Amino acid sequence: MGTYIRYHRNNNLFELRTQNSRYSFFLRDGQYLIHSFYTDRRKKPEEHTVSPRVHFSPYSEEQGKDFFINNILREFPGFEEGDYREAALKIRNQNGDCCTRFIYKKHQIFPGRQELPGLPFAEADETTETLAITLEDKISKCEVMLYYTVFAACDVISRYYTVTNRGKAPLRIERCMSLSLDLSGRREMDWISLPGQYFYERNIQRVPIFEGIQGCGSRRGASSHYSNPFFAVCNRSATETKGDVYGFNFVYSGNFQTQIEACRESSIRIQTGLGQDCFSWLLEPGESFTTPEAVMTYTTKGLGQMTRNFHRFIRNHILPKETQHTPRPVVLNTWEASYFDIDEAKMLTFAESAAKNGLDMLVMDDGWFGARNHDRAGLGDWQPNPEKFPNGLKAFADAVRAKGVQFGVWIEPEMINPDSNLYREHPEWCLGVAGRRPSLSRNQRILDMANPAVVAYLKEMFDQTFRDFEPDYFKWDMNRNMSETGSSFLPLQRQDETAYRYMLGVYDLFAWFRKRFPHAIIENCSGGGGRYDLGMMKYSCQIWTSDNTIPEDRVRIQFGSMMAYPAETMSCHVSNRKHLTEDSRYLNYAYQVALNGTLGYELHLPNMSQTVQQAIAEQIREYKTHLEFLIRQGNYYRVLSPFETPYSAYYFESEDQSHILLTFLQNKGETPRTVKLKLPSADQNARYRDRYTGEIYEGFQLKKGFTLTTSEANHFGRMWALEKI
Ligand code: DGJ
């Protein structure tokens, strides 16, 4: 018995409670785990009854004729046992078939959680408890340990499992979903996901769930720009503030599959995991395989609350602890200002003007190493280019620091240009399949991170490159997706494991970086936001949200990202749009967009006019003094969606509800009209003063909605910094 997880012996019921939700299932005849409900903690749950007799539904003689496995709600569905919906786990056994019937053996409840070997996972706190249930398929001798971990304070429950081969012959895992949840009844429900593409990541898409299978995923070897592992299922009537919402995410950065299967007779089955494309795993006798962790949350309070549950969870359980309570540096990144055209003298002028204007760090982007004067050569050769840095990197880093800013550096560890010394030495260190010509993308190939020798080499080499001056920040990029995914290191029968083992190699290298350079921040990047996921967030507290820094587009990308991820995970830069940056309205608008995350700049600061430099210095002063804390720790509310209106409006409210930072953004000028801004969480008995104008607002007025007149001008943004008086 735990505080949050209980097993009721009298009715064989397992009950998992979080602050506001309740998840329950029971054991039928000491064998099957049958889902009861996932609901509000205070709500009386609907009784779940075994479904009535239906034609064409198999039953087993042992279980009796009123038990149709295809029509019940299940916690862990196997394959080909008369349940025609998708299985959570499919294994091919020694007889060549894939039948399984996983039967309960025992369970255990313990405080905290277990670590996942080699994988990122959510850290425990004092409200964390775990239920581990052992199941077994007697014929194949396959044992499954199902884990349910409760993060009670955040209303999140996680799921994953370990498969162990207890037999004498090898088994092959052919489908693997970390989480499988059956919701009862035929309800009108919607599915919300975040599809996108390079340069336009994470659009909010809400569509009705239809009968049959729907879902998304990635076969790119990365969670990708095109799909995101987050998704939600909600009642058709759910709004920002009301309605049943179930949110899901996956703590993993490679290929994945999410799936919703709506069946006419019984249920909606929701699953997320590694899936079955681009993945299978050979399990020798005695071996175990652990799936990545999936997480879920439930609320009756609409989409806004689901978002806040996930934001809190990511802040408290996923992001690296050591970066949580210190201010993030405001960086000057060199990419959009200078591209590959960098050298010591030029970079020092950047460092100088960064320091002069109150920025904290120079991040030297691509172009500093090997023959990297363009994107056709040099990746893999991580020694500074002697023509650009004749005194070496240590001397340069010292000089940057002497100017008064920290020093960050761009790397792309997983990639290689065929035109590089490393490739000439080790062509076999790339992913590829025998007999097929490898495809290139951005003139590069992918190192075989499934091969431990490659990972070991990278550790050794980066240690040598950076040991003398330990950068304060790494921007870790990854600029292509997988094709011809095979590893010359792995035997034939394990080729399907390549993409997954690749991710294990990547995580191993990330973990090494964190340990070797414990004070450095790692900013993750994959051609912008191509690996924007919980796996990456375990190692990098911020991610380059998109290569698109045009504020009109960024508004949508950031709004979409925040559906699932908190503001501080988004690196947001005011960028180098030369003709516009000198326009003060534009500069202010770009800043109002970028401050919504972790603020930075990506422009040729030394060449900017004095007026612009002063304006930037003032922005940074304001951000650091009044805004950063609220944005990083506040609760986030959506007000107007850029996916539904020509505007975007949202606010952050401090935990004690004394401060609110409200932003309204309008991309395009229009004939002025009024729009209503409603702040549902405002205290209706309080009064607020806006720090920018001194105006007083009544709480009830904010709650009911106050009007704002839109502007004729392009790039119109307005902010209110409201403080309770
Ligand atoms: C892609 C990234 O998204 C950019 O910000 C930049 O770092 C380039 N790669 C450098 O090659």
Render pLDDT for 330-361 as a digit per residue (tens, 0 to 9): 999 999 999 999 999 999 999 999 999 999 99
Quote the pLDDT of residue 62: 76
User: Which residue segment(s) compose the domain that 146 sits in?
Assistant: 5-318
Percent of the chain residues topping a pLDDT of 90? 90
Quote the pLDDT of residue 66: 75
**Is 527 touching ligand 1 by the criterion CB < 6 Å?**
yes
Q: Is residue 368 one of the residues assigned to a domain?
A: yes
Summarize the confidence of residues 243-272 as an average pLDDT. Answer: 94
On the question of pLDDT at 50 being above 60, the answer is: no
Q: What's the residue count for the chain?
A: 725
On the question of pLDDT at 576 being above 80, the answer is: no
Q: Is residue 696 one of the residues assigned to a domain?
A: yes
**Is 429 touching ligand 1 by the criterion CB < 6 Å?**
no
What domain count does the chain have?
3
341 is catalytic: no
Question: Do both 382 and 512 map to the same domain?
Answer: yes
Phi-psi region of 442 (alpha: psi -120 to 50; beta: other; left: phi over 0): left
On the question of pLDDT at 445 being above 90, the answer is: yes
Lowest mean pLDDT among 49-53, 375-379, 465-469, 699-703: 49-53
**Is 528 touching ligand 1 by the criterion CB < 6 Å?**
yes
Catalytic residue among 547, 553, 656, 683: 547
Catalytic residue among 182, 477, 496, 533: 477
Lowest mean pLDDT among 22-26, 45-49, 61-65, 484-488: 45-49
**Is 523 touching ligand 1 by the criterion CB < 6 Å?**
no
Question: Do both 273 and 327 map to the same domain?
Answer: no
Cα-to-centroid distance, 401 and ligand 1 (Å): 24
Quote the pLDDT of residue 69: 85
Output helix, strand, coil percentages for the chain, rounded to the nearest 5. Answer: 25, 35, 45
Give the HSE-up count for residue 231: Cα atoms under 13 Å, Cβ half-sphere.
Answer: 28
**Is 410 touching ligand 1 by the criterion CB < 6 Å?**
yes
**CA torsion angle 46 48 53 55 (round to 10):** 80
pTM value > 0.95: yes
Among 262, 287, 318, the domain boundary falls at 318
On the question of pLDDT at 686 being above 60, the answer is: yes
From first CA to last CA, the distance across the chain in angstroms is: 47
Residue 552 near residue 680 (C-beta atoms within 8 A): no
Cα-to-centroid distance, 366 and ligand 1 (Å): 7
On the question of pLDDT at 675 being above 90, the answer is: yes
Q: Is the dihedral of CA 419, 422, 425, 430 positive or negative?
A: negative
Question: Do both 358 and 240 map to the same domain?
Answer: no
**Is 600 touching ligand 1 by the criterion CB < 6 Å?**
no
On the question of pLDDT at 259 being above 80, the answer is: yes
Q: Is residue 259 one of the residues assigned to a domain?
A: yes
Question: Do both 403 and 291 map to the same domain?
Answer: no
Question: Do both 185 and 283 map to the same domain?
Answer: yes
Lowest mean pLDDT among 56-60, 342-346, 579-583: 579-583
Tokens at 102, concatenated:
């996983």
Q: Which of 339, 369, 417, 477 to mutate to test the pocket of ligand 1 (most atoms within 8 A of CB)?
A: 477
Q: Is residue 678 one of the residues assigned to a domain?
A: yes
Q: Is residue 632 one of the residues assigned to a domain?
A: no
Tokens at 277, concatenated:
């494309």
CATH assignment at residue 682? 2.60.40.1180
Cα-to-centroid distance, 310 and ligand 1 (Å): 28
Segment 273-325, tens digit of pLDDT? 999 999 999 999 999 999 999 999 999 999 999 999 999 999 999 999 988 88
Three-state SS for 26?
strand
Q: Is residue 178 one of the residues assigned to a domain?
A: yes
| Distance from the Cα of residue 724 to its chain's centroid | 34
Question: Do both 308 and 343 map to the same domain?
Answer: no
On the question of pLDDT at 578 being above 60, the answer is: no
- Angle formed at CA 674 by CA 672 and CA 680, multiple of 5 degrees: 145
Q: What CA–CA distance (Å, rounded) separates 662 from 642?
A: 15
On the question of pLDDT at 48 being above 70, the answer is: no
What residue owns the CA closest to ligand 1's atom 2?
Answer: 527
Quote the pLDDT of residue 58: 83
| 109 backbone dihedrals φ, ψ, rounded to 5° | -120, 130
Residue 155 near residue 298 (C-beta atoms within 8 A): yes
Question: Do both 340 and 246 map to the same domain?
Answer: no
Lowest mean pLDDT among 32-46, 105-119, 456-470, 537-551: 32-46
Question: Do both 114 and 161 map to the same domain?
Answer: yes
Cα-to-centroid distance, 477 and ligand 1 (Å): 7
Quote the pLDDT of residue 47: 62
Segment 111-164, tens digit of pLDDT? 999 999 999 999 999 999 999 999 999 999 999 999 999 999 999 999 999 999
**CA torsion angle 655 201 331 692 (round to 10):** -50
Q: Which residues pair with 231 in a beta bridge?
A: 193, 248
Question: Do both 168 and 232 map to the same domain?
Answer: yes
Among 293, 318, 343, the domain boundary falls at 318
What residue owns the CA closest to ligand 1's atom 10?
Answer: 366
CATH assignment at residue 271? 2.70.98.60
Cα-to-centroid distance, 526 and ligand 1 (Å): 8
Nearest Cα to Cα of residue 537 among 523, 550, 519: 523
Of the pLDDT bands very low, low, confident and very high (cuts 50, 70, 90), residue 579 is: low
Residue 228 near residue 202 (C-beta atoms within 8 A): yes
Question: Do both 296 and 193 map to the same domain?
Answer: yes
Quote the pLDDT of residue 567: 98
Indicate the residue type of 514.
R
Q: Is residue 621 one of the residues assigned to a domain?
A: no
CATH assignment at residue 471? 3.20.20.70
Of the pLDDT bands very low, low, confident and very high (cuts 50, 70, 90), residue 266 is: low
Helices and strands per DSSP (H, E), number in the chain: 14, 38
User: Distances in Å between the alpha carbon of 261 and those of 73, 85, 396, 571, 699?
Assistant: 13, 7, 57, 35, 44
Among 318, 349, 365, the domain boundary falls at 318
Cα-to-centroid distance, 104 and ligand 1 (Å): 50
Segment 193-243, tens digit of pLDDT? 999 999 999 999 999 999 999 999 999 999 999 999 999 999 999 999 999
Quote the pLDDT of residue 680: 98
Question: Do both 307 and 328 map to the same domain?
Answer: no
547 is catalytic: yes
Quote the pLDDT of residue 480: 98
Q: What CA–CA distance (Å, rounded) separates 493 from 73?
A: 35
Nearest Cα to Cα of residue 269 among 26, 87, 104: 87
Q: Is residue 385 one of the residues assigned to a domain?
A: yes
Question: Do both 452 and 391 map to the same domain?
Answer: yes
